[in-house]
Amino acid sequence: MSIFIDAIDSLKPNAEWKIVGDDLYANLEWLDSVKTKPTESELTTEVARLQAIYDSQDYARKRKAEYDQLNQFEMQFDDKENTTTTWVDKINEIKGRHPK
C-alpha cells in the first residue's frame, strides 16, 4: 500500500472506501456510512506527515538492507574464536555510510 492509503487509514481507521485509478483525492470514493470522508486538506497534511516520517527512516532502511546480507551470528562467533573485530567493524562501516 502507498503512503496515500496509509494516510486514509491513519485518519479514518477501518473505514470503507474505494479508489479507482491513481492515488488522488479526486479518485477516492467514500463508501462508509458512519465515518466521514476526510477533506482533501486533511489528507494532504497527513500524507506530508507520514512522508516525512518515512523519509526520516531512509537511513534505517538502507542499513537494514545491508545488515540482512550479513551472517552476523557467524561473524560474531568467528570474532570470538579468532579474537578479531570484523563484525563490529562491518556494522560501524555500514552506519558510517548511512548516517542518521
Partner 1 sequence: MAIVINGSGTVTGLAVGGLPDGTVDAGTLADDAVVEAKIGANAVVTAAINDDAVTNAKVAANAIEEAQLAANAVVTGKIEDGTIAAGDLASGVGGKLVKSTLAYNNSTRQVFSLSVGLQISSENFRTPSGGYHYFTCTKSSSSSTLVLNFSLSIGSVQNNHVFAVWRTSGSGSSTTGVANFTRLAFDSMRNMGTGTATSEVMGGIVAMTGLSTGTHHFWFSFGRSNDGSSTKYTLNPDTNEGSDKSGSTKSTIIINEIEM
| Chain positions contacting partner 1, by CB under 8 A | 1-2, 5, 8-9, 13-23, 29, 31-32
Cα gap 83→92, rounded to integer Å: 18
59 neighbors 98 (Cβ within 8 angstroms): yes
Name the residue nearer to partner 1 (CB basis): 15 or 70: 15
Give least dist CB 17 to partner 1, A.
5
As a dihedral over the C-alpha atoms of residue 60, residue 66, residue 68, residue 73, rounded to 10 degrees, the angle is -110
Q: Which three cell numbers stand for residue 71?
A: 551472517
Give least dist CB 38 to partner 1, A.
13
Give least dist CB 11 to partner 1, A.
12
